[in-house]
Chain A
Amino acid sequence: MPETSNALTELGVAAIREGVAKGSFSAVEVAEAFNANVAAAQQALNAFIVPTPEKALEAAKVVDADRAAGKPLGKMAGVPIGMKDLFATRGVQTTAASHILEGFTPEYESTVSQKLWDAGAGMLGKLNLDQFAMGSSNETSYFGNVISPWRRNDGGNAALAPGGSSGGSSAAVSARLCPAATGTDTGGSIRQPAAFTGIAGIKPTYGRCSRWGIVAFASSLDQAGPMARDVRDCAIMLGAMAGFDPKDATSLDMPVPDWEAALSADLKGKKVGIPREYRMDGMDEDVAKSWEQGIAWLKDAGAEVVDISLPHTKYALPTYYIIAPAEASSNLARYDGVRYGLRDMPSGGNLQDMYAATRAAGFGAEVKRRIMIGTYVLSAGYYDAYYTQAQKVRTMISRDFTDAFTRCDVILAPTAPSAAFALGEKSADPLEMYLNDVFSVPASLAGLPAMSVPAGLGLEGLPLGLQIIGRPFDEQGVLNAGLAIEQRAQFTAKPERWW
């Protein structure tokens, strides 16, 4: 591979956009360089379900032609990206990493992906994920595990989890297969994989990004967001993804601020809340240390640090594991073998037999587990005890944040309780896997903007992330605190190429 191509794949969104606009290199050269990296890593990392090198080239050619013709270029002009395979892409298979949607080729484009193409981005391929975005390790995909490009510094070659559910996205960005990727976050699926792989990712306020054309998991929680190598790149890409969409009933009808232009790492006059309930027994020593370091960095940036309380924190996970499966069981009822996707027709069977056989063959174990839990908590006689109670506790969790934000502007916490774990380490016990979302789920339940930024390397030489949670609609406050951490963390570590 020529040296210039290697250099191009080290660039992020802002640098690519600038270089293309200036003519330092062409968009086609950028697309070719990333296409080559995607192809070279596919066997080892399995980050993509379907690479689409021709789509990346096609979009790049349009950008190069527009530039030559002197036309104005979009916010993401010349930037090839990875698209989580949860976004419907017209003419390109969209599976949610499930067997039941294998071969499904949408006749329409999701709002968020369309906005990115309109801004001049191109598609390198559809990224692997946990099946229907249900998982924290990318071990539930029908198309195989994604392998993290990171390895522990113990000399062993244990295959590590890239996090989940956006595990293809996190692996691809950290391995330089794409400068940025889309993710979706229901209970931490952007932030936890970003933390595990040393990249940045933001889940905006619920409703900022349209859910239209995104395969639904839990509709009251699902939000799309960008995953990229730094805060500025996240701000640029989020600006291209967000905006009102009449086709999504929960879309926010409000203007999209210019987050990139307003980035500032000066936190003078800002208060940062440290939730005492997040100091849990059994938190890894290096995670606790990186949190302390983060507090010091934000003080250094001019912020005042205040102690806050989020009293219902311990109930967030059980609340989530009632509400998310309940909504999933309802959303996934649409996979019936009639309108799209797999059909399994037992010979001599009737319509009901077809439904049951199709869904048995098409859903993986974790998806079935969550549908079953959801069906149970919504069933007659149990609805009030489980589902209504969970929605009431959710109100109290949300109020905890409202109260806390009378005393502070943003909240700082770890993103995950540990660094990346090895594949297979937690997959035997579903509950143990669920506990990995302990710090990310509360903000999801309250619909708040939250981001993870790399803070440094932990004891095993693996990345650790810090999480910033903000008030509703205050993505700017979140991004700015993230930038303050980023400037002080000076995180430049990247996985050594072994693939």
Chain B
Amino acid sequence: MSVDTATVAKIAALARIKVTEAELEAMVPELNGILAWVEQLGEVDVTGVEPMTAVIPNHLRLREDVIDADPLTGGGIRDRVLANAPAAEHGFFGVPKVIE
């Protein structure tokens, strides 16, 4: 499978990355080179093989159903959560208007 300019533009839109026409033109052959190379995986017979989900066997844990069981990842730290926000206002993350 190879991608054309329109497909790359669509991928960029899905990835929320703004690209100029010139960048788009440069990306098409680059992505096609990489995709053509990974295509060789198609020749591997994977009949009956399960896709990997966990590389080292492990069990999933549930934390105790307690508020603030771990104070580091619990609540009550609003200002620290907002400390690095580019536009925090009134205790909230500020974003451009989303309702017209």
Contacts and interface: CB of A to CB of B under 8 A. Distances in A.
A104 B46 contact: no
Contact of B18 (A315, A356, A375): A356
A343 interface: yes
Contact of B95 (A312, A338, A386, A396): A338
B27 A337 contact: no
B56 A345 contact: no
Contact of B98 (A106, A206, A351): A351
Contacts of B56: 205-207, 250, 252, 447, 472
Interface in A360-396: 360, 363, 368-369, 371-373, 375-376, 379, 382, 385-386, 388-396
A134 interface: no
B38 A386 contact: yes
A322 B3 contact: no
A422 B23 CA distance: 26
B31 to A, nearest CB: 6
A77 interface: no
A464 to B, nearest CB: 27
Q: Which of B46, B56, B85, B95 has the most CB of A within 10 A?
A: B56
Contacts, number: 168
B55 interface: yes
Interface string A330-347: 000100111111110100
Contact of A321 (B16, B34, B42, B84): B34
A447 B55 contact: yes
A105 interface: yes
A343 B86 CA distance: 6
A354 interface: yes
A153 interface: no
Interface residues of B, number: 55
A350 B17 CA distance: 14
Q: Which of B17, B18, B49, B58 has the most CB of A within 10 A?
A: B17
A341 B86 CA distance: 7
A247 B72 contact: yes
B66 interface: no
A436 to B, nearest CB: 14
A398 interface: yes
Q: Which of B33, B81, B83, B84 has the most CB of A within 10 A?
A: B84
Contacts of A355: 16
Nearest to B100: A350
Interface of A: 104-108, 205-207, 220-221, 246-247, 249-250, 252-253, 312, 315, 318-319, 321-322, 329, 333, 336-343, 345, 349-357, 359-360, 363, 368-369, 371-373, 375-376, 379, 382, 385-386, 388-396, 398, 430-431, 445-447, 472
Interface of B: 1, 3, 7-8, 11-19, 27, 30-31, 33-35, 37-42, 44, 46, 49-56, 58, 60-61, 63, 70, 72-73, 77, 80-81, 83-87, 93, 95-98
Q: Which 8 A-B pairs have the closest CB atoms?
A: A391-B51, A447-B55, A340-B84, A343-B86, A356-B18, A360-B18, A392-B46, A107-B80
